[in-house]
């Protein structure tokens, strides 16, 4: 149980275009989803926390107008990288929290999406 | 105070040996300490986790040792295998919060 999927697994786009990444909880409802970015050989950095039906909460330094997050249902959150530039190239990972008390213990991670902006 | 410091950055171990990765934290509000394993191009997967009410937790070849007074915890991989070669992240989370604070990662290579 507690499987999280991401689509696409990798995407290549031209500079200036927008890219949408989907994160789905396959066998549970996730009231909260998280988006992380990971640069090569570095740790995971939390970008934003997404709650179903409400606006996402962004971490300090993350541009909310550039990284649009939508959590329209209990099983789907999307991250749209708008006007992507080469410096946005990274590995984007989502996670979903199984319902219950807010607790890091209940967070399950997706397989990640590799974004390359040319 | 929100940082989790992890060492070493990389580790090379011979097959059958013991791999040890250490983490330290400052925030005494942290009460959940997981370890994640990540293979190249994949998302992290929860390996084992511990809470401060116990000093050690063992699952198969993986053991977490926790020292509350020193605010340190470590991952021990016994009988290390080439298939264990991956990057390992420690993390910490506080009471009633979703956020996981990750360590910087340790790249483990196990040679046959």
Using the beta-carbon criterion (under 8 Å), do B32 and A104 form an inter-chain contact? yes
Shortest alpha-carbon distance between residue A8 and chain B (Å): 13
Show which residues on chain B lie within 8 Å of chain A, measured between beta carbons. 32, 34, 36, 41-46, 49, 89, 91-94, 96-100, 102-105, 107
Bridge partners, B21 (sequence order): B75
* pLDDT score for A38: 96
**What pLDDT sits at residue A69?**
95
- pLDDT at residue number B93: 87
8 Å CB contact between A43 and A36: no
Closest chain A CA to residue B51: A105
Cα–Cα dist B13/B74, whole Å: 16
Residue A106, classed as helix, strand or coil, is: helix
Q: How many alpha carbons lie under 13 Å from residue A77 in its C-beta half-sphere?
A: 34
Of A112, A36, A5, A107, residue with least CA distance to B98: A107
Instruction: Please identify which residue in the block is written with the tokens 């959940």.
Output: B32
pLDDT of residue A105: 62
A43 and B97: CB-CB below 8 Å? no
Q: How far apart are CA A92 and CA A78, in angstroms?
A: 11
Which chain B residues contact residue A108 at CB under 8 A?
A: 46
Contact assessment for residue B4 and residue B103, using Cβ atoms and an 8 Å cutoff? yes
Q: Helix or strand or coil: residue B50?
A: strand
CA of A44 to nearest chain B CA: how many angstroms apart? Answer: 7
The mean pLDDT of chain B is: 93
Lowest mean per-residue pLDDT among A32-41, A92-101, B21-30, B84-93: A92-101
Is A43 in contact with B102 (Cβ distance < 8 A)?
A: yes
Identify the pLDDT of residue A49: 92
First to last CA, chain A: 37
**What secondary structure letter does DSSP report for B79?**
S
């Amino acid at each position: 149980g507690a499987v999280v999927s991401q689509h696409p697994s990798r995407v290549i786009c031209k500079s200036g275009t927008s890219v949408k990444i989907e994160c789905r909880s396959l066998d549970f409802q996730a009231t909260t989803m998280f988006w992380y970015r990971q640069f090569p050989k570095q740790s995971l950095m939390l970008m934003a926390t997404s709650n179903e039906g409400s606006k996402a909460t962004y971490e300090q330094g993350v541009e909310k107008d550039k990284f649009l997050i939508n959590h329209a249902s209990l099983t789907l959150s999307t991250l749209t990288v708008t006007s992507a530039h080469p410096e946005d190239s990274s590995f984007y990972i989502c996670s979903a929290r199984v319902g219950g008390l807010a607790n890091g213990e209940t967070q399950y991670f997706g397989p990640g999406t590799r974004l390359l902006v040319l | 105070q929100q940082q989790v410091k992890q060492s070493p950055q990389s580790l090379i171990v011979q097959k059958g040996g013991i791999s040890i990765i250490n983490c330290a934290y400052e925030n005494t509000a942290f009460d959940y300490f997981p370890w994640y394993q990540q293979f190249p191009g994949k998302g992290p997967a929860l390996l084992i986790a511990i809470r401060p009410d116990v000093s050690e937790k063992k699952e198969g070849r993986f053991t977490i040792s926790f020292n509350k007074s020193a605010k340190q915890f470590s991952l021990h991989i016994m009988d290390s295998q080439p298939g264990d070669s991956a990057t390992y992240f420690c993390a910490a989370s506080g009471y009633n919060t979703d956020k996981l604070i990750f360590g910087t990662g340790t790249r483990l290579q196990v040679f046959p």
